[in-house]
């Protein structure tokens, strides 16, 4: 199998763009240079329409096929933002922005979708419109939701929407996917225990929040082990505890934060309810007061079985059936593409990044050899879902 001939001679240009983007990472919604660079490439590519500023800094490009007036359409999405990490990869194209790094491969995702734009605009061998979505703020900012709230699917209706992420450890030129829940919900929580401060030598005159918090941390771990069906998957992690400023003073309040991940919305509901009950009940038992703030960020990412079948067929047409794996295990990592999948049928798959460092690691770098395979997959998907 080979990279699509329509983009084979564009790979050097795409690699150069990817590395330039890697050198100039931007975070969340603050993507003025990134979004402008994407739009500039799209203009040179010859797509039919470019729309900027959706969800603050998102970009949408339309490519019409030979019968673009048919009304049929498909959405393809790539994320553009980086992470607040100091790079340690040592690559010649390492980040020039201190404390910012493309440690998740969004630079590669963007390059692959730009490659598809080049190939689709050149060949136009499909019936309908390819809607190419370049999204900001995937890393904790819910940029997918922001673009949708800005009218993404009202302005550019699609029958299906697809996303793709690189996977370290999976060989380049291979794909992995599965139907059903494949990535966890992402929720953040903050618990404050309010007692009465005092001198550490006279605890009887205080309501010490420290033992309350200790008991609460232990109790939170029983939610999954003693409330959630063992067949289900869930994680409750306490990640920070803040309280007190001096060794001889009982603080009036202590605060902890953490995250909850599930693969089932009903389990998500259960955990939030039990956390609230434990917070109030345990604090009351010690004569203190507990307050829970529970912040639901990203829903569970759920692939439709039909669209996974379409994605697998498109990938197999590019790399062969032996390099497309349909048994991808779910992960508790979150993905805001879940917002799009809740609105439109679709699928989210992984493409091999080879033997690289893991995502969100200071040594990580996207593998440029994957760009051609990813762009070819996108083109194959459009042709198969919008056949002439």
Q: Tell me the fold of 8-183+301-385.
A: Aminopeptidase (3.40.630)
What are the pLDDT digits (tens) for 127-155? Answer: 999 999 999 999 999 999 999 999 999 99
How is the chain split among helix, strand and coil, in percent rounded to 5?
Answer: 40, 25, 35
* pLDDT at residue 323 in the model: 97
* pLDDT at residue 244 in the model: 95
What are the pLDDT digits (tens) for 344-373? Answer: 999 999 999 999 999 999 999 999 999 999
**Extents of the domains making up the chain:** 8-183+301-385, 186-298
In this structure, whether the domain defined by 186-298 belongs to CATH 3.30.70.360 is answered with yes
Q: What is the mean pLDDT of the chain?
A: 96
Residues sharing a CB contact under 8 Å with residue 231, sequence separation 6 or more, in sequence order: none
Task: Give yes or no for a contact between 240 and 258, defined as CB atoms under 8 angstroms apart.
Answer: yes
Tokens in use for 374? 């990813």
User: What is the pTM for the complete model shown?
Assistant: 0.94
The neighbouring-strand residues paired with 83 are: 101
Q: Please measure the distance between the N-terminal and C-terminal CA atoms of the chain and give it in whole angstroms.
A: 23
What are the pLDDT digits (tens) for 157-213? Answer: 999 999 999 999 999 999 999 999 999 999 999 999 999 999 999 999 999 999 999
């Amino acid at each position: 199998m080979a990279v699509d001939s329509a983009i084979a001679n564009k790979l050097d240009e795409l690699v150069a763009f990817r590395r330039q983007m890697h050198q100039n990472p931007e975070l969340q919604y603050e993507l003025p240079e990134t979004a402008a660079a994407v739009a500039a490439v799209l203009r040179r590519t010859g797509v039919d329409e470019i729309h900027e500023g959706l969800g603050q800094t998102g970009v949408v490009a339309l490519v019409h096929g030979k019968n673009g007036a048919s009304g049929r359409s498909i959405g393809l999405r790539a994320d553009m933002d980086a992470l607040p990490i100091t790079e340690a990869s040592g690559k010649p194209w390492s980040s020039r922005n201190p404390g910012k790094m493309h440690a998740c491969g969004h630079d590669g995702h963007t390059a692959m979708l730009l490659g598809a734009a080049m190939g689709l605009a050149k060949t136009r061998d499909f019936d309908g419109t390819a809607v190419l979505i370049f999204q900001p703020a995937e890393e904790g900012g819910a940029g997918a939701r922001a673009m949708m709230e800005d009218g993404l699917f009202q302005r550019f209706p699609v029958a299906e929407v697809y996303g793709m992420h690189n996977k370290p450890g999976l060989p380049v030129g291979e794909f992995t996917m599965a139907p059903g829940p494949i990535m966890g919900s992402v929720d953040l929580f903050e618990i404050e225990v309010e007692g009465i401060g005092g001198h550490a030598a006279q605890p009887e005159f205080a309501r010490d929040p420290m033992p309350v918090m200790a008991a609460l941390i232990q109790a939170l771990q029983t939610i999954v082990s003693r409330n959630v069906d063992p067949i289900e998957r869930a994680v409750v992690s306490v990640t920070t505890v803040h309280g007190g400023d001096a060794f001889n003073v009982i603080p009036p309040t202590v605060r902890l934060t953490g995250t909850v991940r599930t693969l089932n919305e009903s389990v998500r509901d259960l955990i939030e309810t039990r956390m609230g009950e434990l917070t109030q009940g345990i604090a009351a038992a010690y004569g203190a007061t507990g307050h829970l703030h529970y912040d639901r960020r990203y829903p569970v990412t759920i692939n439709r079985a039909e669209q996974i079948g379409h994605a697998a067929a498109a990938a197999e047409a590019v790399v062969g059936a032996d390099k497309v794996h349909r048994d991808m295990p779910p992960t508790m990592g979150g993905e805001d593409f879940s917002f799009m999948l809740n609105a439109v049928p679709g699928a989210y798959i992984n493409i091999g990044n080879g033997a690289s460092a893991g995502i969100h690691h200071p040594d990580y770098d996207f593998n440029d050899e994957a760009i051609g395979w990813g762009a070819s997959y996108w083109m194959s998907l459009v042709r198969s879902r919008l056949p002439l």
